[in-house]
Amino acid sequence: MTRFELLHLLVSQARANGFEFRKWYIAKIGLPWETTQQAVETLCAERRYFALLFSHEFASTFWKAGEHITFQVDHQSFTRRKADGTIATVTRKGYTRRSTRPDAWRYHLRELALAEEPLRYMRRYLRVEEDLDPDEDQPSSPLAAEQVLPPPTKGKPAPPRMTLVRNRLS
């Protein structure tokens, strides 16, 4: 997936959640609006996509409030004074935590800032629409029609058929 395709899908998902991309683009980037495709190309070409990714408006609509999130709590070690006055070191193992928070986007912005490749981090949270058209079940080319699945062997179930899902962008 190219950077353009990834950014276009990210913007589409945020717009589906209520992000006003056109308004943000004009106000924050300061360039005149032509089309969504031209705006995403500008963000890609001039590496201005960091302004989009780290924008509070974008993050708060991309990760909706109250959405269930999973995050990793790191290994912790600290000292504390015991009741008898001695100082002890407390060590806690890291663990995975699941939570529903009204400010999940703040957590993701922190993690995004720490990530070596922010676009790769964002790609993990990208949801692609999985609605299939009835026409997509039929092969579109003669070569695809000639592909035959091998017959299932006895005792083993047939391998699941994978159907490619076309991305729908608005």
Report pLDDT for 13.
86
Report pLDDT for 79.
92
Report pLDDT for 122.
86
For residues 77-95, average pLDDT: 90
For residues 83-89, average pLDDT: 93
What's phi and psi for 3, nearest 5 deg? -60, -40
Radius of gyration of the chain (CA): 23
What are 88-137's pLDDT values in tens digits?
999 988 877 776 667 778 888 998 999 998 888 888 777 655 333 444 44
Answer yes or no: is pLDDT of 61 > 60: yes
Q: Where are the domains of the chain?
A: 3-68+102-124
Report pLDDT for 133.
42
Say what the pTM is. Answer: 0.57
Report pLDDT for 95.
76
Helix (H), strand (E), coil (C) string for the chain? CCHHHHHHHHHHHHHHCCCCHHHHHHHHHCCCCCCHHHHHHHHHHCCCHHHHHCCHHHHHHHCCCCCEEEEEECCEEEEEECCCCCEEEEEECCEEEEEECCCHHHHHHHHHHHCCCHHHHHHHCCCCCCCCCHHHHCCCCHHHHHCCCCCCCCCCCCCCCCCCCCCCCC
Report pLDDT for 127.
63
Report pLDDT for 152.
47
Can you tell me which residue has the tokens 């957590």?
107
